[in-house]
Chain A
Amino acid sequence: MSKLSFRARALDASKPLPVFRCEDLPDLHEYASINRAVPQMPTGMEKEEESEHHLQRAISAQQVYGEKRDNMVIPVPEAGSNIAYYESLYPGEFKMPKQLIHIQPFSLDAEQPDYDMDSEDEAFVNKLKKKMEITPLQFEEMIDRLEKGSGQQEAKLLLKEDDDLIREAYEYWIRKRTSCQGSSLIPVVKQEKRDGSSTNDPYVAFRRRTEKMQTRKNRKNDEASYEKMLKLRRDLSRAVTILEMIKRREKSKRELLHLTLEIIEKRYSIADFGGEIMAEVLAQRQLLKPTYTLPIIPLSNSNQFKHQDHMELKEYRPNKPEKTEVRTKRKYEKKPKVLPLSTAAASLQTSPAALPVFNAKDLNQYDFPSSDEESFPQIHSGSSEAEEENDPDGPFAFRRKAGCHYYACRSDQTGNWPWCSPEEGGLADVRYRYCLTTLTVPRRCVGFARRRIGRGGRVLLDRAHTDYDSVFHRLDPEMLASPQYSPIDKFASTSETNTSDRNPPRDLSQILLNIKSCRWRHFRPRTLLLYNTENTEVSSRKLYRGFSRTASAQPGTQAGGTSLQDRSGARSTPIVAFTAEQYQQHQQQLALMQKQQLAQIQQQQANSVSATNSSQGLASKTLDSISAQFAASALVTTEQLMAFKAKEDVVLGIGVNGILQASGVYKGLHLTSSSPTALVHTSQSSTVGSTFLQPSNNTQTSSSQSALSHHGTAANSTTQVLIGNSIRLNVPSSVAAVNSIATLNTRHIPRTINAVPASALKLATTTNCQMPKVTASSSMDIVPRENLDKDKPALSSIADNTVAMEVT
């Protein structure tokens, strides 16, 4: 019989298998030759272990002998038994209960300390026992609390025993704890770490199970496919997100296209063929940037002003380019930051050529940004910069601005600043000479100082050292017949440098006398209330009221001492930032107002808007009303305040205040000081900012007394109006620039607000425009609260009007 071989077939578990005794089947061995074995079942052991010597020996022994032989068992490490001290260790008997033992869950957690005393502890406790009452259990309790109270101080608090005991136990515990480098005196199994770094630590056990999907049993690939599905879902959602973003981007692009079209149309309608208005707008846009980047930080100190005058000048001047420069990032990299020196005026006057008034590229970059959106974020960038911490100057810190050209200071001529002596090319304006100065807060006389307007509209006090400083300091401010003191200049700080004063006065009484008899000028920050009461007095002359002339003031000294009085510092309400929404709202508001006003302008003044520069000038005036309003509102809130509705305006105004004001104020100063300076200034501003060329022309043509800053912004506003609300409006900037009028408004608004909103405003501001801006600038820092309070209702009524306008 040939040996048959069949494929092994699985046994049918449901098929009955007859059971035979071998002796009943004598012919079984014949059939055994038919190799039809049932497939071998796995043993369930790891194969590697299955082949181990002792196991195999045991298995084969079993198969051979049918049972285990003693010498064939698998050997294991020996274990001893019969611990001698077992009886003493586990004393007592335990009687088996009749019933099955049933234990209540959680009943086991008797309040027993987990800590078990060791021999060392025992020695300590025994020693301690001689001094005071303590049981081992108490001790364990204490250590247990200390251990579980994690921190040492907390642990100390946990002990409730009497003091000596606590201290002893605590000391002991500390010693023991530090000597044993282990984590705990109560040995515990290592816990997993949250960060997952303990995944492979063999000593970490009993990790918490994280929730996991239950896959169907016997489908081992379920888990894998589940993971894959998860991944797929993640990927798909990512794709959706990307598409969403693309959609948004394309929408923005389309919007931009439309806006650009609109701009072009508007420009066409106002005949801005040369691109001048556009350039201005763009320049003004530049001003926007800081408006929402500046958290209001009280000025702590200002390193940059501790230098000498010419240094300050150097740092001061870049401000203007910063403000007016059309954003030309790329250009900045190409050119060296310091241009060859010439006289300030010369360089400034020639620079318009060097600095293109309007950079086509800059305009273009808003036209059709490519998909990479490289140029876009720049508009909004910088917002984070201001939030930089450890920046002592806060938002006022000097930052190099991309696209700006920074000129080196001119050693030959420190500049034609009003406080410079004529020798230095300055005006030596009497107001900026060194004079006795009294600060409001702290209320004391600081001695000789001269004022300058610094960046951000801050008033800098350059202090001069005299031999009589001590005398001055002792001067009682009250004695100096000063009518009012403004509480505003809270944050005024001074830093001194040595300057030699030429004409020292004799003694205190004489000084006082001199002051009182107005022989010496004495400057004190003033309140506006004063102005209000003497409202009839107009124009810049007011400024001089605070001064009495003295011959001793020496404007030419190279005093480096500065004192900063920052408006922002005086603000009681810190304004954090303003959101895009607020900004948007504001824009809309403004746009509405502007539109309306434009309409009015067109009605009242028969001039077509697109006609001439002069018409622009007019328009600017009307627009000023808005700015004035905003400025006023800004002012109100800056000084503190209440529930003034148009909060965003406030924020905007404030935001701008810090940096942008400076130029505006400064220009105002120039204008008022004398007409020649106005010219100088015009050239300056135009050269530096390139965009101010136009406004300055306006000033001349309109021959009004309005400040350059006004015009700059006004013109700007005009364009805005013309452009409509489609482009990003320059409201904040205009507000900022016009901020200088704020104080003016404080005077005039009470009158104006009662009138019909828009037209009245316009009227008001036209008057405003004729007001010398110097007043504004100088008094800006000195706006008294009382005044503001007066203005509040008025302003809020304005706000109401604004709202009303919106509604209609």
Chain B
Amino acid sequence: MADSQVEIVEGCRLPVLRKNQENEDEWPLAEILSVKEITGRKVYYVHYIDFNKRLDEWVTPDRLDLKKLQFPKKEAKTPTKNGLSGSRPNSPERDVKRKVEPVSLVTQVSPATPVASLPASTETTQASVYPLVRDAGFTPKSAAGRAEAREDHEQLATLATNGTARRLIPSQPGRKRKASCLGTDEIIKVFQNINPRCPSVFLPPGEDSQDSSDGIPSAPRMTGSLVSDRSHDDIITRMKNIDCIELGRHRLKPWYFSPYPQELTALPILYLCEFCLKYLKSLKCLQRHLTKCNLRHPPGNEIYRKGTISFFEIDGRKNKMYSQNLCLLAKCFLDHKTLYYDTDPFLFYVMTEYDSKGFHIVGYFSKEKESTEDYNVACILTLPPYQRRGYGKLLIEFSYELSKVEGKTGTPEKPLSDLGLLSYRSYWSQTILEILMNPKSDTGERPQITINEISEITSVKKEDVISTLQYLNLINYYKGQYILTLSEDIVDGHERAMQKRHLRIDPKCLHFTPKDWSKRGKW
């Protein structure tokens, strides 16, 4: 398909060929985020709509289905100009608050409902949403254009999954509203629920939207390590900038942008020292570096060792170089991680696996020395080569072991990523089911337990316990009271999962004394 007739510009949407996990061809709708020319041939950076950003990639023109090309809507903000637009909208809460009236009145389809949702209803909602959303920029011409576009959508919707269909609505506000999975009433409730609980995750909308709309750059909040406010995003941070990272034995394909020195982003491979994580531009430099770097483990105190698994604690203030290097690496795989501020208020717990060459980094989590929000984890990452092997859960388990030593309940900083959510849910489910399956009913009576008790035993924050119980559908209302019921499926599933879970943290191997950082002055 020649792209000579039509110019594909940023913001265009069209189906793009990609292989799924079964190595089958599929043509998900994608948005062009950037165009560049390599040796006279154009390549396009595409974001597959409704797919995670980590799958964004540079594609050649032959993978584009130009027949179904949609040009960017005039009134839609172009992604290049504004970080808010396109596939990375803001959190729906903020959006709802910003345009309170028109939005909140619309009944919405819940996208949270599982896959087999109805595309037809999606379309109708769209229609009802549109007029309300479009205000000033509504012209007859653009209306016509949209109508055509919608026809396209309908055609596409038949072959696309529900998620894709929903995403077809090109305008940002409309789509965002779609995205919020709750009805009006629920939204308000969510606000009441969420805000007191985790204020830092969902920033006070007023201030933030003001800041961004005024064009006055505002520094992000200084606590935490994650950004939920993407108003500082721009096209640069939406695109991966490092092609490949070589770390020890592994080559890693970064998922997200990371602020490594800009001159290094053009390199085909960025070399990292496996132990100090220093970034180097060439293999030669790495070789030279390794003659000088005698580290064979993360430069911190080993606070846990069992078998080949060790944990090292690194103070973000005392060991800035390593902490920064670690953060840069982690940013490649954590979308919401922010490196805006220094690493001083964080501790880094690096999990390593030992072999004859040394202690190899597997993953890490960071933790605020003092968290005002009961966070016991700021960022958490299993490096891709070690993923899906139980290390993530091990990291999570370790984080809760630390909380147990501290005598606190904790929760990970929000927002969670998709993988984070799955991992945590999995950990919570297994942890809670472990307790429920082995009830301590000494007296032979019906075992019973409070949520607070679960929380205390596991150090999992109460809200997370409830959400897990809900998710597992254990809470039932029976004869005037709430009960917890364990279905056979659940029990079987749990037992199977626990059999597969070899890696566990042994609290006896943990040598950790929590410090009262509040008495230490500055972090």
Quick check: is B414 within 8 A (CB to CB) of the other chain?
A: yes
Tell me, rounded to whole Å, the shortest Cβ–Cβ distance linking A169 to chain B: 16
CB-defined contacts of B514 to chain A, threshold 8 Å: none
> Which residues of A from 216 to 238 have beta carbons under 8 Å from B?
217-218, 220-221, 224
Listed residue (B195, B288, B343, B446) with the most chain A CB atoms within 10 angstroms of its CB? B288
Whether A86 and B450, one on each chain, are in contact in the complex, defined by CB atoms closer than 8 angstroms, is no
Out of B295, B451, B470, name the residue touching A17 (CB < 8 Å).
B451
Tell me, rounded to whole Å, the shortest Cβ–Cβ distance linking B259 to chain A: 4
Tell me, rounded to whole Å, the shortest Cβ–Cβ distance linking A22 to chain B: 4
Quick check: is A105 within 8 A (CB to CB) of the other chain?
A: yes
CB-defined contacts of A41 to chain B, threshold 8 Å: 193, 463, 466-467, 470
Out of B193, B448, B452, name the residue touching A19 (CB < 8 Å).
B448
Tell me, rounded to whole Å, the shortest Cβ–Cβ distance linking A413 to chain B: 70
> Which residues of B from 459 to 481 have beta carbons under 8 Å from A?
462-463, 466-467, 470, 475-479, 481
Whether A116 and B285, one on each chain, are in contact in the complex, defined by CB atoms closer than 8 angstroms, is yes
Whether A43 and B416, one on each chain, are in contact in the complex, defined by CB atoms closer than 8 angstroms, is yes
Quick check: is A78 within 8 A (CB to CB) of the other chain?
A: yes
Closest residue of B by beta carbon distance from A101: B302
Whether A50 and B112, one on each chain, are in contact in the complex, defined by CB atoms closer than 8 angstroms, is yes
Whether A54 and B483, one on each chain, are in contact in the complex, defined by CB atoms closer than 8 angstroms, is no
Out of A74, A140, A217, name the residue touching B419 (CB < 8 Å).
A74
Chain B binding site: helix, strand, loop or mixed by DSSP? Answer: mixed
CA distance A96 to B302 in the complex (A): 12
CB-defined contacts of B305 to chain A, threshold 8 Å: 100
> Which residues of B from 435 to 449 have beta carbons under 8 Å from A?
436, 439, 446-449
Closest residue of A by beta carbon distance from B57: A77
> Which residues of A from 174 to 220 have beta carbons under 8 Å from B?
180, 182, 187-190, 196, 199-200, 202-210, 212, 214, 217-218, 220
> Which residues of A from 115 to 143 have beta carbons under 8 Å from B?
116-119, 122, 136-137, 140
CB-defined contacts of A18 to chain B, threshold 8 Å: 446-448, 481, 483-484
Whether B284 and A118, one on each chain, are in contact in the complex, defined by CB atoms closer than 8 angstroms, is yes
Quick check: is B357 within 8 A (CB to CB) of the other chain?
A: yes
Tell me, rounded to whole Å, the shortest Cβ–Cβ distance linking B111 to chain A: 4
Task: Using known A-B contacts A17-B450, A51-B111, A89-B286, determine if residue A46 contacts B228 with beta carbons closer than 8 Å.
Answer: yes
Segment of A59-67, A309-317, A375-383 engaged in the interface with chain B: A59-67
Chain A binding site: helix, strand, loop or mixed by DSSP? Answer: loop
Quick check: is A44 within 8 A (CB to CB) of the other chain?
A: yes
Out of B293, B388, B450, name the residue touching A15 (CB < 8 Å).
B450
Whether B315 and A105, one on each chain, are in contact in the complex, defined by CB atoms closer than 8 angstroms, is yes
Whether B343 and A206, one on each chain, are in contact in the complex, defined by CB atoms closer than 8 angstroms, is yes
CA distance A122 to B288 in the complex (A): 10
Whether B511 and A100, one on each chain, are in contact in the complex, defined by CB atoms closer than 8 angstroms, is yes
Segment of B31-39, B61-69, B131-139, B492-500 engaged in the interface with chain A: B492-500
Whether A188 and B261, one on each chain, are in contact in the complex, defined by CB atoms closer than 8 angstroms, is yes
Quick check: is B400 within 8 A (CB to CB) of the other chain?
A: no
Out of A40, A45, A67, A208, name the residue touching B418 (CB < 8 Å).
A45
CA distance A36 to B359 in the complex (A): 52
Segment of A26-34, A654-662, A740-748, A797-805 engaged in the interface with chain B: A26-34
Whether B52 and A190, one on each chain, are in contact in the complex, defined by CB atoms closer than 8 angstroms, is no
Quick check: is A581 within 8 A (CB to CB) of the other chain?
A: no
Closest residue of A by beta carbon distance from B221: A223
CA distance A76 to B303 in the complex (A): 31
Quick check: is B369 within 8 A (CB to CB) of the other chain?
A: no
Tell me, rounded to whole Å, the shortest Cβ–Cβ distance linking A188 to chain B: 6
CA distance A106 to B320 in the complex (A): 10
Whether B354 and A19, one on each chain, are in contact in the complex, defined by CB atoms closer than 8 angstroms, is no
CA distance A180 to B264 in the complex (A): 12
CA distance A101 to B303 in the complex (A): 8
CA distance A188 to B259 in the complex (A): 10
Tell me, rounded to whole Å, the shortest Cβ–Cβ distance linking A224 to chain B: 6
Task: Using known A-B contacts A118-B285, A122-B284, determine if residue A71 contacts B21 with beta carbons closer than 8 Å.
Answer: yes
CB-defined contacts of B517 to chain A, threshold 8 Å: none
Whether B251 and A19, one on each chain, are in contact in the complex, defined by CB atoms closer than 8 angstroms, is no
Task: Using known A-B contacts A13-B451, A75-B55, A122-B284, determine if residue A204 contacts B344 with beta carbons closer than 8 Å.
Answer: no
Out of B249, B259, B462, name the residue touching A202 (CB < 8 Å).
B259
Closest residue of A by beta carbon distance from B18: A75
Quick check: is A606 within 8 A (CB to CB) of the other chain?
A: no
Listed residue (B189, B201, B301) with the most chain A CB atoms within 10 angstroms of its CB? B301
Quick check: is A53 within 8 A (CB to CB) of the other chain?
A: yes
CA distance A776 to B283 in the complex (A): 90
Quick check: is A55 within 8 A (CB to CB) of the other chain?
A: yes
Whether B447 and A90, one on each chain, are in contact in the complex, defined by CB atoms closer than 8 angstroms, is no
Whether B194 and A17, one on each chain, are in contact in the complex, defined by CB atoms closer than 8 angstroms, is no
Whether A103 and B299, one on each chain, are in contact in the complex, defined by CB atoms closer than 8 angstroms, is yes
Quick check: is A642 within 8 A (CB to CB) of the other chain?
A: no
Segment of B74-82, B87-95, B390-398 engaged in the interface with chain A: B87-95
CB-defined contacts of A53 to chain B, threshold 8 Å: 28, 50-51, 161, 163-164
- A-B contact list, 12 entries, CB within 8 Å: A11-B451, A11-B482, A32-B476, A50-B181, A52-B50, A56-B163, A59-B114, A94-B359, A102-B302, A187-B279, A203-B262, A207-B342
Which 9 interchain pairs have the tightest Cβ spacing?
A66-B493, A41-B467, A220-B199, A217-B372, A199-B217, A205-B339, A77-B253, A187-B261, A13-B451
In the complex, besides A14-B450, A96-B354, A140-B288, 13 extra interface pairs with C-beta distance below 8 angstroms are A11-B475, A38-B482, A44-B412, A48-B176, A51-B50, A53-B164, A54-B51, A79-B384, A81-B249, A89-B286, A136-B288, A187-B263, A199-B219
* Contacts from A to B (Cβ < 8 Å): 11, 13-23, 25, 28, 31-32, 34, 36, 38-60, 62-63, 66-67, 71, 73-83, 85-86, 89-90, 92-94, 96, 100-103, 105-106, 108, 110, 112-113, 116-119, 122, 136-137, 140, 180, 182, 187-190, 196, 199-200, 202-210, 212, 214, 217-218, 220-221, 224
